[in-house]
Structure 1
């Protein structure tokens, strides 16, 4: 082999060995590398830092790299970070949940390391004025609800207006003579049932039937005598 050809092959081998490889041949965190293994990185992708030929994830949270807006917190991810919203009990936070608050929001108070809801309905000061309202506690607040039969009118509860038909009961329009007829009908049905049972020879129901007949006869005679006395008095 000629010296020129040998020189060319040596140059190619040198480039292959010492020139950084880039692209798909590197491990996932490497931008440039000396081989496919993860500990052969020469340059890292964004979000990673080179350490002993390894690309290590940068935890942006708590550093100057983090740029999260107010009332959110930084959550580190693979090669980057996310800004997540604080719990509604918090005004500013260092993480998720009501136990990572920097300050408690309105309607909450500190209890140990947590911000807990204030139950306005159990406070000494009456949250909802008037006997027609009652208090309903919610997370961070409360609202006043009208009692049954009352409706909201601005900041107060007024008695609901009902029609005359709604106010009357089922028997309100029945006259006295109609009630007397209903009583007689019911009494007749009872007597009929007792008479049927008495006809079958049942001594107990026979005695009940005879007693009911006697009571009805006594009531009828008493009613007639009262009407006779009333007519005599009115005739005078």
Structure 2
């Protein structure tokens, strides 16, 4: 399996050191992969004697370089082309004196990276020193790269310029010369001496300190709460919420229609409560004047709907029934089987007529023709013709 450098060109473009580190790591994996390989010829002893050992050969170097970059990794290929002479120099001349390929290529030659614990164009020490940047409790901005500010970004719970202090809401659980452990205070404490609710030194916003305890402030009972006109305030731990008044209210002091300051349109006050007005029952004149319209009360209003058995069509209420069906034609109820039988009977009549004409018996022809027509008419008009025909067709 061929090892490749990091194939994310967008990330590498933003961080040149990361791209170089990926190339160097892929190159080292290629060396490990070819560690025990040879030229593959029939006379290895002769090849090693005449062509130098495979371990230090140009052949091995080329095999490693072929697998360093993924085919689609443009950034890696571009960086490899830029540093190819440096790689060859390290392989043939610097390898023994400088075994750390990443340090030699990315830090010393291409100057894309810095040693750990340093940052910026000149590889200056990070805040807190290069041995333990940010006291081990955070990240140095730009650590190991030619970029950044060198300032500390502290881990949660830690603070100060070197992350050597406990942050807000945390206290020192243990400390020695090289190590600090910060633990979380009671939830209301901004600063504290321990985990108990009675060990607060300062409170978070929304609480007030009283005898080393943080007491929740009721913002709803003070002017600290700011809710919109048709909302009411609900106190929460350390804060408050604004919730919408009932639809029955114009302004309210709490939840429900019994806490309204004024009743909304469509409601009337009954003691302390705002109740819905039934416009359909209270109106002196009908409120729905359309034909076959009736009034239906809704919360705070009403609506006009069609009376039972009616639907609204083109803005008017009409009787809910299917549209009139067109009158049936004379042949609409004829089934396929009936058509077949009629065709057979018609064919038979025609044969009889032709046979009679051939015999030149006009009276006979007329009698037979009239009889056939009568039989067809009788079949056609009979209510039970389907059952008779079915038995006839099945030979019953």
Considering the TM-score relative to the shorter chain, is it more than 0.5? yes
- 1:134 corresponds in structure 2 to 294
Deviations 1:118-153 (A, max 9, x none): 011101331112551111111111111122345355
Go from structure 1 to structure 2 and tell me whether the alpha carbon gap of 1:43 and 1:157 turns closer, same or farther (over 3 Å shift): same
Q: TM-score by structure 2 length?
A: 0.34
Deviations 1:54-109 (A, max 9, x none): 10000101312101112111111111111111111111111111111111111111
CA contact (8 A) 2:296 2:305 kept: yes
Deviations 1:11-63 (A, max 9, x none): xxxxxxxxx95763532211123443322222111110011221000010131
Go from structure 1 to structure 2 and tell me whether the alpha carbon gap of 1:104 and 1:119 turns closer, same or farther (over 3 Å shift): same
Match of 1:120 among 279, 284, 291: 279
Deviations 1:152-207 (A, max 9, x none): 554x545679744389xxxxxxxxxxxxx99xx9xxxxxxxxxxxxxxxxxxxxxx
Match of 2:241 among 64, 79, 82: 82
Q: Which runs of 5+ in 1 are unaligned?
A: 1-19, 168-180, 186-236
- Please give the root-mean-square deviation of Cα atoms over the aligned residues, in Å: 3.0
CA contact (8 A) 2:291 2:317 kept: no
Q: TM-score by structure 1 length?
A: 0.55
Instruction: Give the aligned length.
Output: 150
Secondary structure of 1:92 counterpart: strand
Go from structure 1 to structure 2 and tell me whether the alpha carbon gap of 1:150 and 1:40 turns closer, same or farther (over 3 Å shift): closer
Does residue 297 of structure 2 align to residue 151 of structure 1?
no
Does residue 274 of structure 2 align to residue 111 of structure 1?
no
Go from structure 1 to structure 2 and tell me whether the alpha carbon gap of 1:53 and 1:159 turns closer, same or farther (over 3 Å shift): same
CA contact (8 A) 1:39 1:53 kept: yes
- 2:258 corresponds in structure 1 to 99
- 2:346 corresponds in structure 1 to none
50-59 vs 38-47, which moves further: 38-47
Secondary structure of 2:280 counterpart: helix
* 2: CA distance, partners of 1:104 / 1:166: 57
- 1:62 corresponds in structure 2 to 221
CA contact (8 A) 1:132 1:150 kept: no
Does residue 232 of structure 2 align to residue 73 of structure 1?
yes
Does residue 198 of structure 2 align to residue 36 of structure 1?
no
TM-superposed deviation, 1:114: 0.7
- 1:165 corresponds in structure 2 to 325
Go from structure 1 to structure 2 and tell me whether the alpha carbon gap of 1:21 and 1:159 turns closer, same or farther (over 3 Å shift): closer
CA contact (8 A) 1:99 1:115 kept: yes
* 2: CA distance, partners of 1:126 / 1:66: 47
Secondary structure of 1:82 counterpart: strand
